[in-house]
Chains A and B, each alone.
Chain A
């Protein structure tokens, strides 16, 4: 059913009450989408496929590194596999390999769809993808062979990073050109975030390469630049792409508008203002001027503003439609990601306060926090995006609902175990490390629970007022082991997804018609999308044409 005259722009994008839960497929829009998807096919699929390959590689590095922490003699004969090399190889291959590649792939498709213009110059983008992959490959091999630069998150030597920079330059310029050619008048919130990410990242990367790899700084000044960069990779590259994806796919799958344009504006600008100040929270209590660290603590805590804004916006959009998550893989992964974003950000804001920073800094708690962000938020969101986008590029539905279920549950349970158990292990480690001076311990002690907490956490075996280091190591071992188990689950999930992607690309799997849902109940799916009078309360604004 066509609700607007053929060819009419959807430029106003205002709330159209008659459109609740119904497919909008006037021929103009449909044909535009088809053209766009067709044009996006090769660049996006190259980014997605190579990204997924890096996910599997990065997961294997992760498993090896994780096992080494509780079984140090595991594969310890080879210099290439020593923990200190495998661990950064893991970080760089999942950050610059998996996450960045799929992030760019998703951004390309989102930009085209939102700008309502087909993807132009696909060959350039495929070239960018190839350069990027070569850069990551060369960089990863360099790290494993002992040629790391020694700067965290920037371990790739300059001869590989310049490839990344060229590739990224191509993508950024393409994005500006595409944005300039947009057919839609209104710029949707996802486009602001994508524009931001694609504009901020090159500046970030160029600055840090010049100042640090170019040896223009040393000592603590370098430390500030280093963590300004590393934290902004999260805040100004991955977070905007993730949020742009959620902002697009949640209303898209459900068929409802985003709750509040005003919250979108507030969320975007407060993120832009505060997030980039948070970098120095990586050396709280460190040998740094107080003003620098205080500024980052303030930035980190003020992130509550954009995070709560976005949380409300997303929640109120999905509200009354959570039932769709039972069916739609896209929505389930995306909502998982969105909720994790809120959780990890609130956790991060809390960790920047001195009283909570002292026991958690330097501990496994921080690692668990990092994975909650990059995996539970960003990776799960990218999975959701790929579940939506890939069938549109290949024209084939996902061939196995069972594999999708395995993927989701293994990943979800895996990251939940990872975060939960490693956080607990990290807290134990942190409290034991700081047992001699613990304002938080004093605080909890005043509440009368400190002895109980200590006993629960295994009792602190203090000698001479401090817990001996090897006792701390011993106490973390069971939690490190549980992280390996969780990581194994996550790796299996990634393999399941890899198989699904392979089957979709090649067409070897079972051919389906209709969306591949978690639960095959097409009627139930439709019902979940359509408001039902007797179990849903109509919106206040229904029927309001303003």
Chain B
């Protein structure tokens, strides 16, 4: 048994002497090293764990999507079917509103007022409402618009991008119909057939329109550029 004031030998077999005065005060006041008590696990905790394990089993069994790679998370029962399916014919105004919000508000704004000096307004715009501009609307969406355009007394000189490749005729018709009846606008809907006709007459052209070019297209002009 080692002496009281030397520490047990280490692997190298050399017992080391120490000097009490070199001990830090912090060590002198330290308590016992941490040790374990042996209280039992509370029984209510065991019940809680049992309930959790049961829940875990149920939850995993329900939402594992059959371990399939294409059963995605977030759908009910881990399937890839959305909870609500669209039923019946789609309301063009509702569809148009959705498309507008997703594609047009960044420039034309949600209130249809555009941005002064940058993007023309759609609310009360003569391009949107007047009959002589009606054939221009599908064309603008199909190919875009560039160069100066005067709307409600102000001139805008930007670049509207084309949406013809991105949207089908029904979608273009829907968004135009929406714009023509929102924010106090009151004008008739545009049909997918009108858009299809415009698309056909535009043919292979890919450059954006200028206002001068558009104005050459008469209100009831058939398939002629």
Chain A positions near chain B (C-beta within 8 angstroms): 6-7, 10, 13-16, 19, 21-25, 27-35, 37, 113-114, 117-118, 181, 183, 188-190, 247-248, 250-255, 257-264, 266, 283-295, 297-298, 301-302, 304-305, 308-309, 312, 316-317, 354, 391-392, 395, 397, 463-464, 466, 468, 513-515, 541, 546
The smallest beta-carbon distance between B191 and chain A, in angstroms, is 23
B24 to chain A, nearest CB (A): 5
Interface of A, secondary structure class, is helix
Task: Choose, from B69-77, B142-150, B213-221, the stretch at the interface.
Answer: B69-77
User: Which B residue's beta carbon lies closest to that of A546?
Assistant: B38
**Contact residues in B for A181 (Cβ distance below 8 Å):** 11
Q: Are B23 and A28 in contact (CB under 8 A)?
A: no
Contact between B27 and A392 (Cβ–Cβ < 8 Å)?
yes
Is B47 an interface residue, CB under 8 A from the partner?
Answer: no
Docked-complex contact B52 and A25, CB < 8 angstroms: no
List 5 contacting pairs A-B, 8 Å CB cutoff, sorted by A.
A189-B36, A289-B65, A294-B59, A301-B55, A302-B52
Q: Do A290 and B75 touch across chains, with their CB atoms under 8 A apart? A: yes
Cβ 8 A contact of B73, one of A250, A261, A286: A286
Q: How far is the CB of A45 from chain B (nearest CB, A)?
A: 14
Q: Which residues of A contact B8 (CB under 8 A)?
A: 7, 28, 183
Are A28 and B11 in touch, CB under 8 angstroms?
Answer: no
| Cβ contact within 8 Å between B71 and A289 | yes
- Does B101 interact with chain A (Cβ within 8 Å)? yes
A253 to B105, CA, bound (A): 62
With A23-B30, A392-B24 already in contact, the answer to whether A259 and B39 are too (CB < 8 A) is yes
Using known A-B contacts A35-B7, A298-B59, determine if residue A14 contacts B25 with beta carbons closer than 8 Å: no
Q: Which of A27, A250, A294, A466 contacts B64 (CB 8 A)?
A: A294
| B residues with CB within 8 A of A | 1-8, 10-11, 16, 18, 20, 22-42, 45, 48-49, 52-53, 55-56, 59-60, 63-75, 78-79, 97, 100-101, 105, 110-111
Q: Are B30 and A252 in contact, with the CB atoms below 8 A?
A: yes
Q: Which 3 A-B pairs have the closest CB atoms?
A: A290-B65, A290-B78, A255-B31
Chain A, Cβ-Cβ closest to B49: A305
Please tell me if the beta carbons of A262 and B41 are within 8 angstroms of each other in the complex. Answer: yes
**Chain B residues near A464 (CB-CB < 8 A):** 97, 100-101, 110
Q: Which listed residue (B3, B22, B33, B53) contacts A252, Cβ 8 A?
A: B33
* Interface pair A291/B65, CB less than 8 Å apart: yes
Bound complex: CA A317 to CA B37 (Å): 9
Structural contact, B28 and A25, CB atoms closer than 8 A: yes
- CB distance A301 to B7 under 8 Å? no
Smallest CB-CB separation from B182: which chain A residue? A464
Instruction: Known contacts A34-B22, A263-B41, A298-B59; decide if A293 and B73 are in contact (CB<8 Å).
Output: yes
**A290-B63, A290-B71 are contacts. A258–B24 as well, Cβ < 8 Å?**
no
Contacts A304-B52, A464-B101 known; 20 new A-B pairs at CB < 8 A: A22-B31, A24-B32, A28-B2, A32-B7, A189-B36, A190-B34, A247-B34, A252-B34, A257-B34, A259-B39, A260-B36, A262-B39, A284-B73, A289-B73, A290-B75, A302-B53, A309-B45, A463-B110, A464-B110, A513-B25
CA distance A23 to B60 in the complex (A): 51
Task: List the A side residues contacting B63 at CB < 8 Å.
Answer: 290-291, 294, 297
**Given contacts A28-B4, A254-B31, A305-B52, is CB(A15)–CB(B64) below 8 Å?**
no
Q: Are A33 and B30 in contact (CB under 8 A)?
A: yes
A34-B24 in contact (CB<8A): yes
Query: Once the chains bind, are A285 and B37 in contact (CB under 8 Å)?
Result: no
Of A27, A183, A247, A266, most buried by chain B (CB within 10 Å of CB) is A27
> How far is it, in angstroms, between the C-alpha of A288 and the C-alpha of B97 when the chains are bound?
30
- CA gap between A354 and B77 in the complex, in Å: 12
A294, B34: Cβ atoms under 8 Å?
A: no
Across the interface, which residues of B come within 8 angstroms of A7, CB to CB?
Answer: 1-4, 8
Q: How many A-B residue pairs have CB under 8 A?
A: 218
Q: Check B71 against A13 for contact (C-beta < 8 Å).
A: no
Q: Is the CB of A262 within 8 A of B38?
A: yes
Q: Provide the residues of chain A in CB contact with B68, threshold 8 Å.
A: 289-291
Shortest distance between the CB of B54 and any CB in chain A (Å):
11
Residue of B with least CB distance to A24: B32
B-side contacts of A304, CB under 8 Å: 48, 52
C-alpha gap A37/B30 in the complex (Å): 13
Inter-chain contact A261/B7, CB cutoff 8 Å: no
Shortest Cβ distance from residue B2 to the other chain A in the assembled complex, whole angstroms? 5
Interface centre among A16, A248, A292, A515 (most CB of B within 10 A): A292
Minimum CB–CB distance from A22 to chain B (whole Å) comes to 8
Knowing A27-B20, A468-B110 touch, does A308 contact B33 (C-beta < 8 A)?
Answer: no
Expressed in whole angstroms, the Cα–Cα distance for A323 and B131 within the complex equals: 83
Closest CB-CB distance, A19 to chain B, in whole Å? Answer: 5
Shortest Cβ gap from A181 to chain B (Å): 7
Output the least CB separation between B61 and chain A (Å).
9
Asked whether A261 and B36 contact (CB < 8 A) given A252-B31, A285-B73, A302-B56, the answer is: yes
Closest chain A CB from B34 CB (angstroms): 4
A266 pairs with B4, CB closer than 8 A:
no
Which single member of B7, B31, B100 contacts A31 (CB below 8 Å)? B7
Bound together, the chains give a CA A257 to CA B32 distance in angstroms of 9
A55 to B147, CA, bound (A): 55
* Residues of chain A lying within 8 A (CB to CB) of residue B36: 13-15, 188-189, 257-258, 260-261, 264
Please give me the residue from chain A that is nearest to B178 by CB atom: A464
Contact B23 A34 (CB under 8 A): yes
Given known contacts A15-B37, A35-B18, A262-B38, is B60 in contact with A298 (CB within 8 Å)?
yes
Report how far A291 CA is from B28 CA in the complex, Å: 56
Contact of B34 among A258, A291, A305 (CB under 8 A): A258
Are B35 and A14 within 8 A (Cβ)? yes
Residues of A near B59 (CB, < 8 A) are 294, 297-298, 301
Chain B residue nearest to A316 in the complex (CB): B39
Question: Could you tell me the distance between the alpha carbons of A305 and B100 in the complex, rounded to whole angstroms?
Answer: 49
Contact of A10 with B64 at beta-carbon distance under 8 Å, contacts A30-B23, A288-B73 already known? no
Nearest residue, chain B, Cβ from A250: B34
Cβ contact within 8 Å between B38 and A15: yes
CB nearest to A256 among chain B residues = B37
**Smallest CB gap from A349: residue in B:** B52
**A287–B110 CB distance below 8 A:** no
Cα separation A260 to B36 with both chains bound (whole Å): 6
Instruction: Looking at the assembled complex, report how far the CB atom of A222 sits from the nearest CB atom of chain B, in whole angstroms.
Output: 15
Verify B72–A15 contact, CB threshold 8 A.
no
CA distance A466 to B8 in the complex (A): 74
- Chain B CB within 10 Å, residue with most, of A31, A287, A290, A294: A290
